[in-house]
């Protein structure tokens, strides 16, 4: 069950409900789950779907599949363990496709494979990659995005500027899985901080996220950079990027891992702290829809896409996976309209009753 911890943060006070001004953002951090409850360590990827939260615990498994296994856990919204699965190797990516099938991407640094979980039957299915996957120099697949009827994967450890960092599945979900690259390690894009078109190189591709506007966002972990891909896989594909900076405006300390986007003013950020072996739930209010949040080093913070500056919200040991889930509550403006409607209805009813009594 969720337990409140001392890491509760009140960043700003909320404005009064009747105020015309939007409330400032506030964040409350709670402990959602501990790995010890399922015998798991190193929680990493996080995914919300089918009313459940899914977490992969890597358990120190080798990232090339040489040894060990990971534990995938399905939690209820209250933090109750519903089901666990043992998946061979290191599960660094965990995603849910449009059909509801859970994808566990294994061994991001070599000998990559895929295991899917049917959330209804709990059955697992293993898949292998075909000849288009060059299993050399510790290359593998880290993350997946499903959009516009296609599946895109981030591919790790490019050895040269012409090696792929993002690929597209060219086959249905059946072994052998085949791929084709859509973004090379070195490319030309718009630097969002300067507005200039420049060449940049991603040497350490990691998380791949679908943005609210339909673009892809790729994290360059050791590069301390995030790349945005528009019209992915098409002839009109373009890229932009931002270098991450600390609040002092200098190159940020630590490497980024995952990115999340607020799609509502109120919701929850589910956050895994790998080093602490803890999964947190961050309750957030007063958010700007479309605002960007990122894990970097020891912090989880908000990202200014015009400057690259990351403003800390929460400090842990080594935050990794994060996902935003909107809260199913009315926005303050909607609440006011509803309240006004109920009040007006009550007044009209009272007037009618008085007339009938005359």
Kindly list the domain boundaries of the chain, sorted by start residue: 3-12+24-332, 333-358
Q: Please report the pLDDT score of residue 13 as a whole number.
A: 28
- For residue 117, the Cα-to-chain-centroid distance in whole angstroms is 19
The three-state secondary structure class of 244 is coil
Environment class of residue 342 by beta-carbon count within 10 Å: exposed (0-12), middle (13-18) or buried (19+)?
exposed
Higher pLDDT, 175 or 290: 175
CB 55 within 8 A of CB 72: yes
Which pLDDT value is given to residue 205?
97
Share of the chain above pLDDT 90, in %: 83
Cα–Cα distance measured from residue 117 to residue 103, given in angstroms and rounded to the nearest whole number: 7
Residue 317 predicted with pLDDT over 50: yes
Residues near 19 by Cβ (< 8 Å), separated by ≥ 6?
A: none
Burial class of 236 by CB neighbour count within 10 A (0 to 12, 13 to 18, 19+): exposed
CA dihedral defined by 109, 294, 224, 199, rounded to 10 degrees? 100
**Each residue's pLDDT tens digit, 79-90:** 999 999 999 999
Q: How many CA atoms lie within 13 A of 150 on its CB side?
A: 20
Assess whether pLDDT exceeds 90 at residue 67: yes
Superfamily for the 3-12+24-332 domain: YVTN repeat-like/Quinoprotein amine dehydrogenase (2.130.10.10)
Q: Which residues of 160-197 are buried (b: 16+ CB within 10 A; e: fewer)?
A: eeebbbbbbbeeeeeeebebebbbbbbbebbbbbeeee
Residue 24's pLDDT is what? 83
Q: Please report the pLDDT score of residue 333 as a whole number.
A: 36
Q: What mean pLDDT is predicted for residues 265-275?
A: 97
Stretch 31-48: mean pLDDT, rounded? Answer: 96
Task: Tell me the pLDDT band of 358, cut-offs 50, 70 and 90.
Answer: very low
Q: Taking 50 as the threshold, does the pLDDT of residue 120 lie above it?
A: yes
180/83 Cα distance (integer angstroms) = 35
Q: What is the pLDDT of residues 212-239, one digit of tens each?
A: 999 999 999 999 999 999 999 999 999 9
> Does 12 score more than 90 pLDDT?
no
The strand order across the sheet containing 238-243 reads 197-201, 186-191, 238-243, 225-230, 216-220, 205-210
pLDDT(301) > 80: yes
| Mean pLDDT of all residues belonging to the chain | 88
State what percent of residues in the chain have pLDDT above 70.
85
Tell me the pLDDT band of 137, cut-offs 50, 70 and 90. Answer: confident
């Amino acid at each position: 069950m969720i337990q409140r911890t001392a890491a509760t943060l009140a960043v700003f006070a909320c404005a009064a409900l009747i105020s015309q001004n939007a409330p400032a953002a506030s964040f409350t951090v709670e402990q959602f789950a501990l790995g010890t409850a399922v015998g798991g360590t190193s929680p990493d990827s996080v995914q919300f779907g089918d009313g459940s939260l899914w977490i992969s615990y890597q358990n120190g498994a080798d990232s090339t599949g040489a040894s060990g296994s990971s534990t995938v856990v399905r939690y209820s919204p209250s933090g109750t363990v519903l089901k666990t699965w043992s998946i061979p190797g290191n599960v660094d990516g965990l995603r849910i496709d449009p059909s509801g099938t859970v994808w566990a991407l294994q061994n991001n640094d070599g000998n990559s494979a895929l295991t899917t979980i049917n959330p209804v039957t709990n059955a697992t299915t293993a898949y292998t990659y075909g000849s288009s996957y060059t299993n050399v120099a510790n290359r593998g697949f880290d993350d997946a995005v499903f959009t516009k009827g296609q599946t895109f994967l981030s591919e790790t450890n490019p050895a040269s500027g012409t090696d792929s960092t993002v690929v597209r599945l060219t086959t249905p979900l059946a072994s052998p899985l085949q791929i084709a690259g859509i973004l090379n390690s070195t490319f030309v894009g718009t630097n969002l901080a300067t507005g200039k078109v420049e060449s940049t190189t991603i040497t350490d591709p990691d998380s791949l996220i679908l943005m609210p506007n339909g673009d892809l966002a790729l994290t360059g972990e050791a590069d301390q950079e995030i790349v945005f891909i528009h019209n992915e896989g098409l002839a009109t594909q373009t890229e932009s990027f931002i270098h991450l900076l600390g609040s002092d405006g200098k190159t940020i300390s630590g490497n980024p891992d995952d990115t999340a986007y607020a799609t509502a003013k109120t919701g929850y950020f589910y956050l895994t702290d790998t080093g602490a072996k803890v999964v947190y739930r961050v309750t957030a209010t007063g958010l700007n829809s479309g605002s960007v949040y990122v894990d970097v080093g020891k912090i989880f913070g908000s990202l200014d896409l015009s400057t690259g500056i990351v403003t800390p919200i929460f400090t842990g040991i080594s935050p990794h996976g994060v996902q935003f889930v909107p809260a199913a509550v009315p926005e303050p403006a909607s609440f006011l309209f509803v309240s006004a409607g109920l009040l007006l209805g009550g007044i009209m009813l009272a007037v009618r009753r008085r007339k009938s009594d005359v």
